[in-house]
A = this chain, B = another copy of it.
Amino acid sequence: MQKENYHHGTLKEEMIQKGLILINNEGIKGFSLRKVAAMCGVSHTAPYKHFKNKEELMEAISNRVLKSFSECLMKAVETAKNEQTGMADVGKAYVKFMLDNKEYFRFIFFSECKVNVKLKANDFIYKPGNPFEVFCSGATAYLEHFIKDKTEINCIILSMWSIVHGISTLVIHETFEYEGDYEELVERMLRVQPR
């Protein structure tokens, strides 16, 4: 009986799963490698066979969330493309996803969690597949129909990205609160833009 338990089999994956649960239940400050290991029914050093250190576990968890985020945004971009609703709906999806997953994004953005993503303006280079890339490239494709100047497009995109990211961040950090429908608010905030 013990023989079957000695080797867990899918510990790496379960660490990520249980890590997500722990974050949801106890927030950032309740998160610890040892707790997650215990949730997997494994000794507190077993995870080190799969993750170099705590930070690498956090990064894996973060990537899992960002992957869902990407998929969510991709769907929104597709819908917007088909139904000609413009980028506002994608922006709304961006904010909604972050606010629906506050605890996860506190973890990703408000902790020492490394996010393996970096966008550069100017040439707008990004690692494909991450949510920010999805948002920005979706917006680029949309704006190209209306605007020629590449620099202006980038500027507008950056503006939109900052708006949706900024408002989400402020709300999640509890620096700002709106007593009403955030989607409607975002809609209006983005509409203030020329496009």
**Set of chain B residues within 8 Å of A178, measured between Cβ atoms:** 120-122
B192 touches A156 (CB 8 A): yes
A contacts with B, residue count (CB < 8 A): 41
Q: Mark A18-55, 1 if CB is under 8 A from B, else 0.
A: 00000000001100000000000000000000000000
Partner of A189, one of B159, B169, B170: B159
Binds B, one of A6-14, A80-88, A106-114: A106-114
Q: Which residue of B lies closest to A165 (CB)?
A: B166
A119 touches B175 (CB 8 A): yes
B175 touches A132 (CB 8 A): yes
Complex: A10 Cα to B165 Cα, angstroms: 41
Q: For the complex, is A128 an interface residue (Cβ under 8 Å from B)?
A: no
Q: Mark A89-123, 1 if CB is under 8 A from B, else 0.
A: 00000000000000000000111100101111110
